[in-house]
Structure 1
């Protein structure tokens, strides 16, 4: 079974970058920043080399990682002749596309969805609303109207979850 890596507010000792901007600590920014950083650290730690079948789910269209991972991977290879890769044996894009699923939870933006699909593939995207923090109606209406193919809508809305969780 997969593990859902859910955001939380940064620990008080880690909030210096948010000083003077308390509204950024939570879901508006801090959740994504902290969770994405933790996810990258897991990828670079060698965890997925030791446990290649480990599967993590990230919400909120993977906290911005689909957009940032190509640059991260490029810069890691450039830094100190590849030493930026830490203990990882493969590129971060490999781990992202083999060990992760993402959900639409709380991120109802079709361009973001399309970018996420282009990085991870439609078979690793799951519909989610982020209830009770977001409205089920908002999430459902956006998803029903998103400019994606009906085949992709079926996979994201139902099929991928059935396969991932072994449901009938």
Structure 2
């Protein structure tokens, strides 16, 4: 059973550093549903891949909403850069094609749909909105959480906490 990474408003420190300064309503909109939570949720998927979680748990499946929370749109570049910087078993593009499901989450766009189909294919697109997905059937939860917690500790140590843990 896949794990759904649902976006949320970034942590206050991230909002202050990256999404503030326009005006109270605009700052909140930019940090949340306007763009911020899409970047933050997508970054969590990239961090899982970069931390080697998909190498350790090859059967782990993640769902990202909103057409992949920006991941698909930057995947070619991100994969090219990260493939040079990381020592992983596969490329980020391969992880997306094997470990990622995508749903539109109510954002109905023919352009976004086509981008999704081109990158991950029709079999990795969720046609229904997702809700309350359990991690109960992940092959080895202990290994998953060990990698997840190590990744979060590194993030806190480098002051790049996103608030989507």
Same fold (TM over 0.5): yes
Whether 1:19 aligns to 2:59 is no
Q: Which has the higher contact order (CA 8 A, sep 6+)?
A: 2
1:69 to 68, 75, 85: 75
User: CA offsets per residue over residues 23-62 of structure 1, 9 Å max, x none?
Assistant: 2011111111101111111111100100000011110110
Unaligned stretches of 5+ in structure 2? 132-165
Q: What SS class does the counterpart of residue 25 from structure 1 fall into?
A: helix
Report what 2:35 is aligned to: 29
Report what 2:101 is aligned to: 101
| Cα distance change on mapping 1:8 and 1:97 into 2, 3 Å | same
Whether 1:58 aligns to 2:64 is yes
Q: What SS class does the counterpart of residue 57 from structure 1 fall into?
A: strand
Rounded to whole Å, the distance in 2 between the matches of 1:129 and 1:109 is 15
* TM-score w.r.t. length of structure 1: 0.69
Q: How far does residue 130 in structure 1 lie from its aligned partner after superposition?
A: 7.8
1:48 to 54, 57, 65: 54
Unaligned stretches of 5+ in structure 1? 132-168
* TM-score w.r.t. length of structure 2: 0.71
Rounded to whole Å, the distance in 1 between the matches of 2:93 and 2:58 is 14
Conserved in 2, the CA contact under 8 Å of 1:105 and 1:127? no
Alpha carbon RMSD of aligned pairs, Å? 1.7
Rounded to whole Å, the distance in 1 between the matches of 2:66 and 2:111 is 13
Q: How far does residue 128 in structure 1 lie from its aligned partner after superposition?
A: 3.5
Report what 2:136 is aligned to: none
User: CA offsets per residue over residues 56-96 of structure 1, 9 Å max, x none?
Assistant: 1110110122221011112234xxxx2x22x5321101111
Q: What SS class does the counterpart of residue 71 from structure 1 fall into?
A: helix
Report what 1:144 is aligned to: none
